[in-house]
Amino acid sequence: MPKIVDRDARRDEILDAVYRVIGRQGVVSATTREIAKEAGLSNGVLAHYFSDKEDIMASGLRRSHRTVGRRMREAAQCQVGLVALRTVMLEALPLDDQRILEARIEVNFWGQALGSPVLVDIQHDEFERLWDTLYGLIQAAAERGELRPGADDEELTHELVVLIDGLSLQAVMYPARATPTRQVAMLDAVLDRWASAKGRRALPA
Amino acid sequence: MPKIVDRDARRDEILDAVYRVIGRQGVVSATTREIAKEAGLSNGVLAHYFSDKEDIMASGLRRSHRTVGRRMREAAQCQVGLVALRTVMLEALPLDDQRILEARIEVNFWGQALGSPVLVDIQHDEFERLWDTLYGLIQAAAERGELRPGADDEELTHELVVLIDGLSLQAVMYPARATPTRQVAMLDAVLDRWASAKGRRALPA
Amino acid sequence: MPKIVDRDARRDEILDAVYRVIGRQGVVSATTREIAKEAGLSNGVLAHYFSDKEDIMASGLRRSHRTVGRRMREAAQCQVGLVALRTVMLEALPLDDQRILEARIEVNFWGQALGSPVLVDIQHDEFERLWDTLYGLIQAAAERGELRPGADDEELTHELVVLIDGLSLQAVMYPARATPTRQVAMLDAVLDRWASAKGRRALPA
Amino acid sequence: MPKIVDRDARRDEILDAVYRVIGRQGVVSATTREIAKEAGLSNGVLAHYFSDKEDIMASGLRRSHRTVGRRMREAAQCQVGLVALRTVMLEALPLDDQRILEARIEVNFWGQALGSPVLVDIQHDEFERLWDTLYGLIQAAAERGELRPGADDEELTHELVVLIDGLSLQAVMYPARATPTRQVAMLDAVLDRWASAKGRRALPA
DNA sequence: CATGAATGAGTGTTCATTCAT
DNA sequence: TATGAATGAACACTCATTCAT
First to last CA, chain D: 63
Q: pLDDT-derived band of residue B5, with 50, 70 and 90 as boundaries?
A: confident
pLDDT recorded at residue D3: 53
Please determine, for residue C3, whether its predicted confidence score (pLDDT) is greater than 90.
Answer: no
Q: What is the C-alpha separation between C154 and C132, in angstroms, rounded?
A: 10
Helical residues (DSSP H) of chain D, grouped into ranges? 7-25, 32-38, 46-49, 53-75, 81-92, 97-113, 117-143, 153-173, 180-194, 197-202
Residue type, C192: D
CB–CB of B119/B58 below 8 Å? yes
Of the candidates B104, B115, B162, which has its C-beta nearest A28's C-beta? B115
- Residue D195 forms beta bridges with which residues? D147
Contact C122, C54 (CB under 8 A): no
**Measured between alpha carbons, how far is D139 from D151 in angstroms, rounded to an integer?**
10
In Å, what is the separation between the CA of D4 and the C1' of E1? 9
Q: Pick from D161, D169, D184, D187 the residue to mutate for testing the C interface (most C CBs within 10 Å).
A: D169
| Structure confidence at residue B85 (pLDDT) | 97
Query: B114: closest CA among A34, A112, A16, A119?
Result: A112
Residue D83 pLDDT more than 80? yes
Question: Which pLDDT score, from 0 to 100, does residue A1 have?
Answer: 38
Q: Do chains A and D touch (3 or more CB pairs under 8 A)?
A: no
B175 has a pLDDT exceeding 80: yes
Kindly identify which residue of chain C lies nearest to residue D25, measuring between CA atoms.
C115
Per-residue pLDDT band at A163 (split at 50, 70, 90)? very high
Task: Convert B35-53 into a string of H (helix), E (strand) and C (coil).
Answer: HHHHCCCCHHHHHHHCCCH
Tell if the CB–CB gap between C167 and D162 is shorter than 8 Å.
Answer: yes
User: What does DSSP assign to residue D178?
Assistant: S
Contact C13, C39 (CB under 8 A): yes
Strand E nucleotides within 7 Å of a protein CB: 1-21
Instruction: Please tell me the distance from the alpha carbon of residue B166 to that of residue A168, in angstroms, as a whole number.
Output: 9
For the stretch D190-203, pLDDT in tens is 999 999 999 999 99
**Protein residue closest via CA to C1' of F6:** C45
A74-78, B181-185, C135-139 — which is least confidently predicted?
Answer: A74-78
**Average pLDDT, integer, range C63-89:** 94
Q: Between the CA of B112 and the C1' of F19, what is the distance in angstroms?
A: 39
Q: Any chain D CB within 8 A of the CB of C27? A: yes
pLDDT of B2 higher than 80: no
What is this structure's pTM?
Answer: 0.92
Flag whether pLDDT at D23 surpasses 50.
yes
Provide CB contacts within 8 A for C193, sequence distance 6+. Answer: D189, D193
Q: Does C127 touch chain D (CB under 8 A)?
A: yes
CA distance B87 to B78: 10
User: Could you say which of D114, D116, D170 has the minimum Cβ distance to residue C107?
Assistant: D114
d(CA B148, CA B162): 21
Q: CA C97 to CA C103: how far, in whole Å?
A: 10
What is the rounded CA–CA span in Å between residue A113 and residue A119?
5
Tell me phi and psi for residue C195, to 5 degrees: -80, 145
pLDDT band at B4; cut points 50, 70, 90: confident
- How much of chain C, in percent, has pLDDT values that exceed 90? 93
pLDDT > 70 in chain D, percent? 98
pLDDT band at D28 (very low <50, low <70, confident <90, very high): very high
Nucleotide with smallest C1' distance to residue A47 CA: E17
Radius of gyration of chain A (CA): 19
Q: Please give the single-letter amino acid code of residue D34.
A: E
Cβ distance B17 to B35 under 8 Å? yes
The residue of chain B nearest to residue A127, with distances taken between CA atoms, is B174
Which residues in chain D are contacts of C185 at CB distance < 8 A?
Answer: 155
pLDDT(A172) > 90 = yes
A162/B170 CB distance under 8 A:
yes
**Chain segment C148-202, per-residue pLDDT in tens:** 999 999 999 999 999 999 999 999 999 988 999 999 999 999 999 999 999 999 9
Spatial CB neighbours of B1, under 8 Å, sequence gap ≥ 6: none
Query: What's the average model confidence in pLDDT over D36-56?
Result: 95
Q: Is the pLDDT of residue B201 over 80?
A: yes
The rounded distance, in Å, linking the Cα atoms of D25 and C114 is 7
C34 touches chain D (CB under 8 A): no
- Would the pLDDT of D2 be above 80? no
A6: confidence class by pLDDT, cuts 50, 70, 90: confident
CA separation (Å) from C155 to A61, C58, C195, D188? 72, 30, 13, 13
Do residues C146 and C199 make contact, with C-beta atoms less than 8 angstroms apart? Answer: yes
At B1, the pLDDT band (50, 70, 90 cuts) reads: very low
CB neighbour burial string for D12-38, b if at least 16 within 10 angstroms, e if fewer: ebbbebbbbbbbebbbbebebebbbeb
- Is A78's pLDDT higher than 50? yes
Q: Is the pLDDT of residue B41 over 90?
A: yes
Cβ-Cβ contacts under 8 Å, C120 against chain D: 173
> How crowded is residue A71: how many other Cβ atoms within 10 Å of its Cβ?
16
Q: Is the dihedral of CA C171, C176, C181, C185 positive or negative?
A: negative
Q: CB of C114 within 8 A of CB of C122?
A: no
pLDDT at C128 over 80: yes
Q: Could you give phi then psi for residue C121, rounded to 5 degrees?
A: -60, -45
Q: Is C182 on the interface with D (CB under 8 A)?
A: yes
pLDDT at residue A203, as a whole number: 93
> pLDDT tens digit string along A20-29?
999 999 999 9
Contacts (Cβ under 8 Å, ≥6 apart) of C101: C19, C23
Q: What's B6's DSSP letter?
A: -
Task: State how far residue C5 is from chain D, nearest Cα, in angstroms.
Answer: 34
pLDDT for D1 equals 38
At residue B205, does pLDDT exceed 80? no
Contact C114, D107 (CB under 8 A): yes
**What's the mean pLDDT in D2-15?**
81
Distance from CA of D191 to the nearest CA of C (A): 12
**What are the residue ranges of helices labelled H in chain C?**
7-25, 32-38, 46-49, 53-75, 81-92, 97-113, 117-143, 153-173, 180-194, 197-202
b/e string for D84-110 if b means 16 or more Cβ within 10 A?
A: bbbbbbbbbbbbeeebbbbbbbbbbbb
Q: Torsion angle of alpha carbons A95, A96, A102, A105, nearest 10°?
A: 90
- Give the model's pLDDT for residue C1: 46
Residue A199, H or E segment = helix A197-202
**Are chains A and B touching, using the cut-off of 8 Å on CB pairs and a minimum of 3 such pairs?**
yes
Mean pLDDT, residues D120-143 taken together: 95
Across the strands, what pairs with D147? D195
* Contact criterion met (CB below 8 Å) for A87 and A74: no
Give every CB contact of residue A152 below 8 A, 6+ residues apart in sequence.
none
Share of chain C above pLDDT 70, in %: 99
pLDDT of residue B3 exceeding 70: no
pLDDT of residue C4: 72
Longest CA–CA separation in chain C, Å: 67
For residue C96, how many other CB atoms are within 10 A of its CB? 10
CA distance D28 to D36: 15
**Interchain CB contact of B73 with A (< 8 Å):** no
D70, exposed or middle or buried, with CB in 10 Å at 0-12, 13-18, 19+?
exposed
Instruction: Report pLDDT for C164.
Output: 98
- The mean predicted confidence, pLDDT, of chain D is 93
Tell if the CB–CB gap between C26 and D165 is shorter than 8 Å.
no
On the question of pLDDT at C2 being above 60, the answer is no
Helices (H) and strands (E) in chain A, counts: 10, 0
Span B169-193, average pLDDT: 95
- What is d(CA D200, CA D185) in angstroms, rounded to the nearest whole number? 14
Residue B147 predicted with pLDDT over 90: yes
C145 touches chain D (CB under 8 A): no
Helical spans, DSSP H, in B50-152: 53-75, 81-92, 97-113, 117-143
Residue A2: what pLDDT? 45
Could you tell me the CA-to-CA distances from A11 to A7, A19, A47, A50, B158 in Å, in that order? Answer: 6, 12, 11, 8, 39
Q: Taking all residues of chain C, what is their mean pLDDT, rounded to a whole number?
A: 94
Q: Distance from residue A105 (CA) to nucleotide E2 (C1'), in Å?
A: 55
CA B105 to chain A, closest CA, distance in angstroms equals 9
A32 lies within 8 A of chain B by CB: no
Band (B6; pLDDT cuts 50, 70, 90):
confident
